[in-house]
């Protein structure tokens, strides 16, 4: 009989704002297994793991390690118990070296001073031992996402972690990097380490994990041996019903060109060239997807086309007019709508009401004015209508938007951006961090808008999303277009991965087709 190394019993967590994140959750792992913790966004996976790592405290329930009850008051205690965590957002200091990051908090000393040489030695040894190869002297800011993740895993291991929690580790990786990570994790498993693997990608769970625990709406729904269940079984447990996960759409009917960017180059504030001779065009009635690992120039393209960034070389035109000297409002008025990847900063005003957030791009227009005042009645009518059409779950249009869930916030943003009759809709990571229901709603909306004639530029790090929703595909790597596919449906994930990593690069002739 295998031993439970760690179990959490009857855990309940209520946040100060009244949100019940976990309710009577049971979760246990065997020594030396890779255990998947799956559930939709907002199902309570992260909260449960935060309590295991001491960043949050449970209101009810107990945690047992090797059968003995323990209190985990803060991360230091968790580390002492041998629990290590690799966060989804890396906990690294960009300006410091890999070795510095590895030893922070347990710095080797020589005569009272920080011993850099020793820190580098520790790093080198750990990298060898766990087969996670990193350069101790490299600055973290210069590392790829995959390498940063290795540093994070090493950081937990050198602190003596025997149980490793990985919070959606593959969300930011290419298929190739994911494969590499799986090999490394299996290697750790053979060395006796226990891994908790948080994910909502079920094929990965099937490939990597021994057992799986499913959370839904804060409760534990069940636990199973991965070998005994199908992906469909797990998915049903996660969502509570059968969800259609595929998009239905017909062939696109391209119209006139809406967006044309030619030879865009950009150097960012750190002196790094982030866009290299990027050219493409996009006609009415087409969804053009931009795939790539985050940080390969996609954000910059989105900022340039939406008019928020004007320090670039090259040309960007909307409906034949250059946007170089336009203000953001002028860009919008010439037919551009924009869902920003940073919802909390550029998408919404947190303290504003739902109504205020929806009219923020149109309040100045004649139709919403009554003399010097806003035409409140007209605004109310429009907002109520949109709340219904976009299926926004809220207490009414006057509720502050920050009270809503991520999915509903994004629906408010969509209610604004999808209803201003734009010719071009830039959707930058539109479904990041929101639940499957809202994601499917937004994806289908994008297809609807495209069928109605809009040009859609879909930027997404979610490979399956960008491949399924898009008609045409661009892959970005290192600031340049590494591939262009006229028909997104005939591309494989493996191929995409190679282009995303920059291991493959199409010829200039092939890429030029993107701007024809």
Partner 1 sequence: MDRIFAAIFTPEFLFSVIRVSTPLILGSMAALICNRGGMLHIAFEGVMLSAAFFGMLASAVTQNIILGLLGAVAGGLLISMLLGYFNLVLNSDRTLTGIALNTFASAGTVFALYLLVQDKGTSSSLPSLVVPNIDIPILKDIPVLGTVLSGHNALTYAAFLTVFITYIIIFRTPLGLRIRTVGENPNAAASVGINVMKIRFITLAISAVIASLGGAYMSMGYLSWFSRDMIAGRGFMAIAAQNLGAALPLPSFLASLAFGAVTALANVLQTLNMPSEIIQSLPYVATLIGLGFFGYAAQKSGRKRTKAILDKARAAEGEKS
Min. distance of Cβ 70 from partner 1 in angstroms? Answer: 16
Nearer to partner 1, 205 or 274 (CB): 274
Instruction: For tokens 């009244």, name the residue.
Output: 18
Nearer to partner 1, 63 or 337 (CB): 63
Please list, in sequence order, all residues whose beta carbon lies within 8 angstroms of the beta carbon of residue 142, skipping any fewer than 6 positions away: none
Site for partner 1 in 226-265 (CB under 8 A): 265
CA 317 to centroid of chain Cα atoms: 29
Nearest 10 degrees: CA dihedral of 429, 432, 434, 439? 40
Min. distance of Cβ 277 from partner 1 in angstroms? Answer: 7
Q: Are residues 416 and 428 in contact, defined by beta-carbon separation less than 8 angstroms?
A: no
Min. distance of Cβ 93 from partner 1 in angstroms? Answer: 5
Nearer to partner 1, 261 or 386 (CB): 261
Nearer to partner 1, 95 or 325 (CB): 95
CA distance 252 to 471: 7
Of positions 24, 60, 71, 91, contacts partner 1 by CB under 8 A? 91
Instruction: For tokens 């025997």, name the residue.
Output: 162
Nearer to partner 1, 227 or 269 (CB): 269
Q: Exposed, middle or buried by CB within 10 Å (0-12, 13-18, 19+), for 205?
A: buried
Min. distance of Cβ 41 from partner 1 in angstroms? Answer: 20
Of positions 17, 18, 69, 112, contacts partner 1 by CB under 8 A? 112
Residue 162 binds to partner 1 (criterion: CB under 8 A): no
Run of H or E residues at 352: none
Q: What mask of x and - would describe binding to partner 1 in positions 459 to 488, judged by CB under 8 A?
A: ------------------------------
With CB under 8 A as the rule, give the number of residues binding partner 1. Answer: 37
Site for partner 1 in 51-70 (CB under 8 A): 55
The percent helix, strand, coil of the chain (3-state, each to 5) is 35, 25, 35
The strand order across the sheet containing 163-167 reads: 83-86, 163-167, 194-199, 34-38, 211-216, 219-225
The residue range among 31-39, 108-116, 245-253, 426-434 that interacts with partner 1, by the rule CB under 8 A, is 108-116
CA distance 83 to 156: 8
Min. distance of Cβ 407 from partner 1 in angstroms? Answer: 25
Q: What mask of x and - would describe binding to partner 1 in positions 334 to 373, judged by CB under 8 A?
A: ----------------------------------------
Residue 313 binds to partner 1 (criterion: CB under 8 A): yes
Q: Are residues 287 and 449 in contact, defined by beta-carbon separation less than 8 angstroms?
A: no
Report the alpha-carbon angle 264-266-272, nearest 5. 145
Residue 3 binds to partner 1 (criterion: CB under 8 A): no
Residue 100 binds to partner 1 (criterion: CB under 8 A): yes
The residue range among 21-29, 60-68, 110-118, 420-428 that interacts with partner 1, by the rule CB under 8 A, is 110-118
Residue 269 binds to partner 1 (criterion: CB under 8 A): yes
41 — alpha (psi -120 to 50), left (phi > 0) or beta? beta
Which structure tokens are listed for 70?
């323990």
CA distance 100 to 89: 18
The residue range among 58-66, 89-97, 188-196, 242-250 that interacts with partner 1, by the rule CB under 8 A, is 89-97
Of positions 24, 67, 94, 320, contacts partner 1 by CB under 8 A? 94
CA distance 23 to 335: 47
Nearer to partner 1, 1 or 113 (CB): 113
Number of H-type helices and E-type strands within the chain: 17, 24
Q: What mask of x and - would describe binding to partner 1 in positions 271 to 300, judged by CB under 8 A?
A: x-x--xx-----------------------
Q: Are residues 289 and 467 in contact, defined by beta-carbon separation less than 8 angstroms?
A: yes
CA 192 to centroid of chain Cα atoms: 31
* Contact footprint for partner 1 (CB under 8 A): 55, 74-76, 79, 85, 87, 89-96, 100-101, 104-107, 109, 112-114, 155, 159, 265, 267, 269, 271, 273, 276-277, 311, 313, 508
């Amino acid at each position: 009989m295998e031993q439970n190394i760690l179990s959490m019993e009857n855990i309940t967590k209520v946040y100060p704002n009244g949100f019940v994140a976990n309710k009577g959750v049971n979760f246990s792992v065997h020594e030396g297994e890779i255990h998947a913790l799956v559930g939709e966004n907002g199902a309570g996976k992260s909260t449960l793991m935060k309590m295991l790592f001491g960043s949050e405290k449970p209101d009810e329930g107990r945690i047992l390690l090797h059968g003995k009850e323990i209190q985990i008051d803060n991360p230091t205690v968790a580390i002492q118990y041998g629990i290590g965590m690799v966060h989804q957002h890396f906990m690294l200091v960009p300006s410091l070296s890999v070795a510095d990051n590895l030893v922070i908090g347990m710095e080797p000393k020589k005569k009272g001073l920080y011993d850099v040489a020793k820190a580098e030695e520790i790093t080198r040894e750990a990298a060898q031992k766990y087969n996670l190869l990193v350069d101790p002297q490299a600055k973290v800011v210069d590392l790829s996402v995959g390498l940063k993740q290795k540093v994070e895993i090493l950081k937990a291991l050198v602190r003596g972690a025997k149980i490793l929690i990985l919070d959606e580790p593959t969300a930011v990786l290419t298929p190739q990097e994911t494969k590499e990570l799986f090999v490394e994790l299996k290697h750790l498993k053979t060395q006796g380490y226990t891994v908790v693997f948080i994910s909502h990608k079920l094929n990965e769970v099937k490939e990597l994990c021994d057992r799986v625990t499913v959370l839904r709406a804060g409760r534990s729904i069940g636990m199973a041996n991965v070998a005994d269940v199908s992906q469909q079984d797990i998915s049903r447990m996660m969502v509570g019903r059968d969800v259609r996960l595929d998009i239905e759409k017909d062939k696109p009917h391209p119209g006139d060109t809406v967006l044309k960017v030619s030879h865009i180059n950009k150097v960012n504030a750190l002196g790094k060239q982030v866009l290299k001779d990027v050219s493409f065009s996009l006609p009415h009635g087409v969804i053009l997807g931009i795939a790539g690992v985050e940080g390969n120039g996609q954000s910059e393209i989105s900022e340039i086309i939406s008019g928020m960034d004007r320090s670039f070389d090259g040309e960007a035109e909307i409906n034949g007019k250059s946007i170089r000297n336009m203000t953001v409002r002028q860009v919008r008025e010439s037919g551009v709508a924009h869902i920003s990847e940073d919802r909390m900063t550029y998408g919404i005003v947190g303290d504003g009401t739902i109504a205020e957030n929806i009219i923020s791009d149109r309040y100045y227009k004649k139709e919403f004015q009554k003399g010097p005042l806003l035409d409140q009645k007209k605004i109310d009518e429009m907002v109520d209508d949109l709340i219904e059409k976009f299926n926004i779950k809220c207490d009414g249009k006057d509720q502050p938007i920050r009270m809503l869930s991520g999915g509903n916030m994004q629906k408010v943003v969509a209610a604004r951006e999808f209803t201003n009759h734009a010719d071009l809709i830039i959707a930058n990571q539109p479904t990041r961090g929101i639940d499957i229901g809202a994601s499917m709603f937004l994806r289908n909306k994008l297809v609807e808008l495209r069928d109605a004639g809009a040009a859609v530029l879909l930027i997404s790090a979610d490979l399956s999303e960008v491949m399924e929703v898009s008609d045409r595909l661009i892959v970005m790597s290192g600031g340049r277009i590494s591939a262009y596919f006229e028909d997104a449906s005939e591309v494989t994930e493996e191929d995409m991965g190679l282009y995303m990593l920059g291991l493959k690069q199409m010829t200039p002739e092939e890429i030029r087709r993107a701007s024809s």
